[in-house]
A and B are shown apart, each in its own frame.
Chain A
Amino acid sequence: MTTTTERRAIGASVDRRDGPQKVTGTAPYAYEHRFDNPLYLFPVQSDVARGRVMRIDASAAEALPGVVAVLTHESAPRLADTSDSELAVLQAGDVAFRGQYVAAAIAETLETARYAASLVRVSCHQEHHDVELRADRDDLYKPDTVSPDYPTDTQEGDFDRAFSAAAVKLDETYTTPMEHHNPMEPHTTVALWEAGDLTVYESTQGAHWDRATLAQVFGLDQDRVRIIAPYVGGAFGSKTVHANTVLAVLAAQTAEGRPVKFALTRQQMFSGVGYRTPTIQRIRLAADGDGHLMATCHDVVDQTAKIKEFAEPAAVPTRTMYATQSRRTTHRLAALDVPAPSWMRAPGEAPGMFALESAMDEMAIKCGLDPVEFRIRNEPEVDAETGLPYSSRNLIACLREGARRFGWADRDPGPHARHDGRWQVGTGVASSTFPVVRFAGSVARISYLGNGRFLVAIDAADIGTGAWTALAQIAADALGADVDDIDLRIGDTRLPAASIAGGSSGITSWGSAIFEAARAFRERHGYSPSDGDQAEASTPENPDAGNYAMRAFGACFAEARVDADTGEVRIPRMTGVFAAGRIINPKTARSQFIGGMTWGLGMALHEESLVDPRFGHVLNHDFASYHIPANADSGQFDIAWIDEEDPYVNPMGSKGIGEIGIVGTAAAIANAVYHATGIRVRSLPITPAKLLG
């Protein structure tokens, strides 16, 4: 158990410290740092999904005034390490997916680079490609683990026997489409290669992580590589080193001494910077006559890329959500001629809980139970996955508080029974969960600046989450200082190391390091330090990690209105109640929950990357055709949380909140749409076409 200190800053709604800079446009994003005499890069992408580059004619491009070079697999510098095929950019003529970089133009202006790229003629030998995910493929395989390192399959008890013997059963298949992250700021790199030193201004969620990757790929010592990323306009799992960063550094190496700028267009964001795999999920549930789950099975089929494996862990939350007498979960993959999928906000939980929580709604109806009561009835005593007790688990409190706030008590369970003019009206609920993740490897350094002020340095990333503010609050309480006396530095590999902003782990990982550094600082320098006094500490291992299962939980309630004539779905209100430990900053936390639930709304109703299998790439590769919610789609958000004391997770008592807001939302909306219309849509997104029948 962790000792905690008095909290004054933690729990206060401190305004975003970077807010004024962001709204005045003075916070420098990667592309906006000032550079002398920069060059610009524009890529050429393959227009076949599988094949081999036979010939590249760059003569017209090279003849353009202002063109510095055209990189091809023949002319580009060689990389030191090509073991990660996704990053082996322009090292060979093989084409592994449509949209792969096969050349790039470097020029004095962006316009020239773009025009030059359009003049490069690439002749490819096209081979038969295979980009279609289907559950009945005969080449599905079992990966060794699912991301990041969960067991691929699990089994408890005898599912087959329990399922066949049970009184009430469900056997349905749920699907989610390919989705793309699309942060507002596209992937952006400005790279400068100078006398063997590499400086990269990068839009990234982990500068130290990127530095290690680039050093390895380019064969450089890590101390010759510097990554600078103080402000990042969204990441969602997509902003690590992908081929675009490697391409920019190759260009910088070619044009040594001059910075090379490369920002992806929105269209280019749909190939090669990751995406969420489509999923096909079969769920089988069986219950006894009292609504206790006897058998649970979640079989997931995902796609991955032939060039790089990523296994979306969609069945993992099913291993811990509910008590059941028997359980089986499996993951199988199809390896296709596609870009590599990757982590996308709430990987596993977002698609997996859509399936499970839709199935739980269907099962509650089959059992004749209220969906809230059905979930409460199947609350587990311990985490079935590990056999450990939960450090805290307040799903039931979230469901009850959400039901109270939302006005669930007098709900008529019958479907298609409420109308307001031509609107069919319904309500739905779903549970949420997300693990408490702590990464090793973060170091915080605290220096005394005099006059009561402290410098806190850690190479953390604020990808729009509010880390600039929350880490200062944590440092203030850890030191017993005022927030205004904390001078925070993040987003630069010259600062002490930090783990990546992923898995909702930032506050736990970096905050714990800051707490340790503060403790060391006070131990060494006391409460009357001298100017320049310093202490440093790393994220400790959690001594309770082996004693408790640690997860955040939540409940999402949604009202759906479906136009009887058109099948248009509108969501006028949602309630989200979360049990996520101590909330560091209620103001920024509320924004995080709203952002997550809005993401879930988009997942439910809008987002779908359309691939035409004849071509193999995403067709709707812009925001006119790939829809995310607009303001008019986002109704009232009622956000609340349970006051949860969890002394085991970390010194702050906090759990990550960057992703859990998404998790239950899509199912809550699908369940509400069913309640409104009597139509169960098991295939996201829920579009008018699916409701018109």
Chain B
Amino acid sequence: MKPFRYERAEDVSGAVATLAGERTGEYLAGGTNLVDLMKLDIMQPDVLVDVRCLTSGEIEDLPDGGLRIGAAVTNSEVAADARVRSRYPVLSQALLSGASGQLRNLATTGGNLLQRTRCPYFYDTTTPCNKREPGTGCSALEGCNSGHAILGASRHCVATHPSDMAVAMTALDAVVRTQGPAGERETPITALYRLPGQEPERDTTLEHAELITAVDLPALELSSNSRYRKVRERASYAFALVSVAAALQVRDGVVLDARIALGGVAHRPWRARKAEDVLRGAPAIEQSFRAAAEAELADAVPLRDNAYKVPLAANVMTRTLLDLTEGR
């Protein structure tokens, strides 16, 4: 582990100014992922700027009926919040399906969004990895890739995003509020995350020293009828093979509206807009759900070890939408 400096600031502006003045550095919140990565020499920041106590630790009601979650609110607190549980059950379920109780008590909303991939080659500094060391090559492309992407990958990187929370937020059209050297801005979560393209070292569109301060969940009529289904090889404490976050609104047997995002299939939480388009106005029956899933997965490009993810994602999307229809 490379030695680093540890800095604290008085407020968000101070933290941004501090990190903006450094060539390499990271914000430290819960540290549940970053500290591991530093111990393993996967990330080697010169400085850590502690923001744990700088951003909001509150969940506030927004005037339009939405919620604003401060970046420092822990995963446990979001999952347990009564408003989240009733208005956005998909988010509470996603959080509770991730990590362990101990980790959720420490991990923050802002930090969870910025988890790094769990690709084993990224995690092993003795193997080439374009995300860790740009230009060295992607070891997973022709290697052990059962956990890797089937959608939106490039030959430079086939890693997946590990967060469950972010998948639910992607389905919910969350907006990420940030403050950086250039000031404050709001970014739809779907625009926060990148596909790997030729720059897999960049997970997000955040600029250097840009700090997540809060996440806004817009009011959505359908979000109270939502759920998260995570498929994994063991019953707890495992990253998703595939996960589905879905919200569905059905009237008179017809789909009025749907929001669907997939986890474990791409470099970012994958918003399934093609499936949503197929669903709107379609009868709320298994055939429609299956057709929507297949439309979304038509572009899937499986690798050597992960072809199973295509039928798995189709099955889980179909089943989750059926369960939402039938109120199970």
Contact = CB atoms under 8 A, between A and B. Distances in A.
Q: Using C-beta atoms within 8 Å of the partner chain, give the interface range for chain A.
A: 35 or more
Contacts of A566: 231, 312, 315-316
A391 interface: no
A566 to B, nearest CB: 5
A614 B315 contact: no
B235 to A, nearest CB: 4
A267 B40 contact: yes
B308 interface: yes
B224 interface: no
A118 B2 contact: yes
Contact of B232 (A565, A568, A689): A568
Nearest to A692: B308
Interface string A49-91: 0000000000000000000000000000000000000000000
B237 interface: yes
A622 B123 contact: yes
B220 interface: no
Contacts of A118: 1-2, 41
Contacts of B17: none
A666 B263 CA distance: 30
B2 A115 contact: yes
B126 interface: yes
A687 interface: yes
A267 B41 CA distance: 13
A627 interface: yes
Contact of A688 (B3, B126, B233, B239): B233
Nearest to B314: A565
Contacts of B121: 619
A689 B302 CA distance: 13
Contacts of A672: none
Interface string A649-693: 000000000000000000000000000000000000101110011
A118 B41 CA distance: 8
A633 interface: yes
Interface in B1-54: 1-3, 39-41
Interface stretch (A345-353, A467-475, A604-612): A604-612
A615 B127 CA distance: 8
A437 B118 CA distance: 43
Nearest to B120: A619
A606 B238 CA distance: 11
A561 B318 CA distance: 20
A47 B124 CA distance: 11
Contact of A114 (B1, B146, B234, B318): B1
A627 B236 CA distance: 10
Given A612-B139, A615-B127, A689-B146, A570 B312 contact: no
Q: Which of B120, B306, B319 counts the most chain A CB atoms within 10 A?
A: B120
A612 B319 contact: no
Contact of A627 (B127, B234, B305): B234
Nearest to A570: B235
Contacts of B235: 570, 630, 632-633
A605 B234 contact: yes
Interface in A72-122: 98, 111, 114-115, 118
Contact of A630 (B2, B231, B234, B306): B234
Nearest to B317: A565
B219 interface: no
B241 interface: yes
Nearest to B127: A615
Nearest to B310: A692
B312 to A, nearest CB: 6
A547 interface: no
A688 B144 contact: no
B253 interface: no
Nearest to B147: A625
A687 B127 contact: no
A624 interface: yes
B123 A631 contact: no
A620 interface: yes
B233 A111 contact: no
Contacts of A606: 233-234
A625 B239 CA distance: 8
Interface of B: 1-3, 39-41, 118, 120-121, 123-124, 126-127, 139, 142-144, 146, 231-239, 241, 305-306, 308, 311-312, 315-316, 318-319
Interface of A: 45, 47, 98, 111, 114-115, 118, 267, 422, 565-568, 570, 605-606, 610, 612, 614-615, 617, 619-622, 624-625, 627, 629-633, 685, 687-689, 692-693
10 A-B pairs with the lowest CB-CB distances in the bound complex, closest first:
A632-B235, A689-B308, A632-B236, A565-B315, A47-B126, A619-B120, A566-B231, A565-B319, A630-B236, A633-B235
